[in-house]
């Protein structure tokens, strides 16, 4: 049986791996008009933009946080976070 410390270390390592992978797969691209977009290079699809660089970075970190929640088995928490961000209680896409 694992100790609490071992479990916490494993969960922390999993969270870090998922966070880094989530941020790695989403990249910020620059458009000719100086605006930015977020692409998922694994899926080869645009996810967010046209927006400022700061908004794109925020999008990537929010998406990574949701990926971590989903991997940890807290899909309902991730869905609730999206609804709360929307303020209306309805599901919301990250770029909203």
What confidence tens digit (pLDDT) does each residue in 20-45 have? 888 888 999 998 888 999 999 888 89
Question: pTM score > 0.75 for this model?
Answer: no
For residue 82, is pLDDT > 70? no
Instruction: Report the domain count for the chain.
Output: 1
- Distance, in Å, from the CA atom of 39 to the CA atom of 19, rounded to the nearest integer, reads 16
The verdict on residue 82 lying in a domain is: yes
| Domain enclosing residue 13, as ranges | 4-26+53-86
Q: Which of 30 and 91 is assigned the larger pLDDT?
A: 30
Cα–Cα dist 19/74, whole Å = 15
Alpha helices in the chain (DSSP H): 4-25, 53-71, 75-86
Residue 74 in any domain: the answer is: yes
Residue 41 inside a domain? The answer is no
Query: Which pLDDT score, from 0 to 100, does residue 37 have?
Result: 93
Closest CA to 68 of 17, 3, 18, 11: 18
């Amino acid at each position: 049986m694992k100790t609490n410390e071992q479990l916490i270390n494993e969960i922390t390592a999993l969270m870090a791996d998922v966070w880094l992978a989530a941020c790695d797969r989403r990249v910020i691209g620059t458009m000719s008009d100086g605006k930015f977009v977020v692409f998922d290079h694994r899926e080869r699809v645009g996810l967010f933009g046209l927006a400022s660089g700061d908004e794109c970075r925020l999008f990537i970190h929010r998406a990574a946080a949701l990926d971590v929640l989903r991997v940890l088995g807290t899909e309902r928490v991730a869905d609730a976070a999206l609804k709360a961000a929307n303020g209306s209680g309805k599901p919301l896409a990250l770029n909203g």
